[in-house]
Amino acid sequence: MKEVKCINRRLRIMKMKNNMSRFLLTYSSVTGNTRQVADAIHQILPEDTTFCPVSEAPPPEDFDLVMIGFWTYRAGPDPAAARYMETVRNRNVAFFGTLAAYPDSDHARRVIAKAETLLSGNRILDFFLCQGRLAPERLAKRLGGEQADERHPMTEARRLRLLEAEKHPDARDLALARERFQMILEHYRREANS
Ligand SMILES: Cc1cc2nc3c(=O)[nH]c(=O)nc-3n(C[C@H](O)[C@H](O)[C@H](O)COP(=O)(O)O)c2cc1C
């Protein structure tokens, strides 16, 4: 609670120093799913938003609102996104991610918890997750049972989940991502102007 008050105070001071809000939208994506979601979110953000892959992202201190996208690796944000997330402190933040699992699953909740831990010390406004198709070679291995083990047996439920992931991100996911970030933007602006 004390930490949150402290962050809020610092954010108010930042706002007083510079009335123009600076936005960063950055993402990590290997096969393009998270990039697609980032592109959709980019459409609803102001024109002067800095938009780039996380490998090229400027220091987070340069921004008032930092939005970070990741693909899921071993039940958490991928290493490149995670490294950047660890450098973000005392900012307004929002994150988004893609994963093979269902976004309302326990697995997804673990991913969210890891992202929140990486972003601790910030004010997290909200987040968005959706499924994302697996790289074809990885999917083939999974469906072929090559990567099945005791922890990840190839059950019928798992097979169906992977096949569903193949359809994502779809138009609905992208619309939901835009909608969620529109709300995040409105939330940010309301607070910045209060
Ligand atoms: C090496 C590797 C590890 C992955 N680990 C997970 C995981 O733990 N949980 C999950 O739900 N999806 C996992 N995935 C699936 C990806 O997160 C998913 O396909 C994502 O949409 C890929 O995003 P991109 O196209 O932006 O690279 C993994 C994929 C790869 C290649």
Q: Are residues 78 and 10 in the same domain?
A: yes
From the CA of 190, how far away is ligand 1's center (Å)?
Answer: 35
Q: How far apart are CA 127 and CA 180, in angstroms?
A: 8
Q: Are residues 95 and 12 in the same domain?
A: yes
Q: Are residues 6 and 100 in the same domain?
A: yes
Domain boundaries, position 154: 135-167
Q: Are residues 53 and 80 in the same domain?
A: yes
Atom from ligand 1 closest to the CA of residue 72: 17
Q: What is the pLDDT of residues 134-172, one digit of tens each?
A: 988 877 787 776 666 666 778 999 899 999 999 999 999
- DSSP bridge pairs for 66: 24, 93
- Best of 73, 149, 164 to mutate for ligand 1, by most ligand atoms within 8 A of CB? 73
C-beta of 98 in contact with ligand 1 (< 6 A): yes
Does the pTM surpass 0.85? The reply is: yes
C-beta of 33 in contact with ligand 1 (< 6 A): yes
Q: What is the pLDDT of residues 91-105, one digit of tens each?
A: 999 999 999 999 999
C-beta of 28 in contact with ligand 1 (< 6 A): no
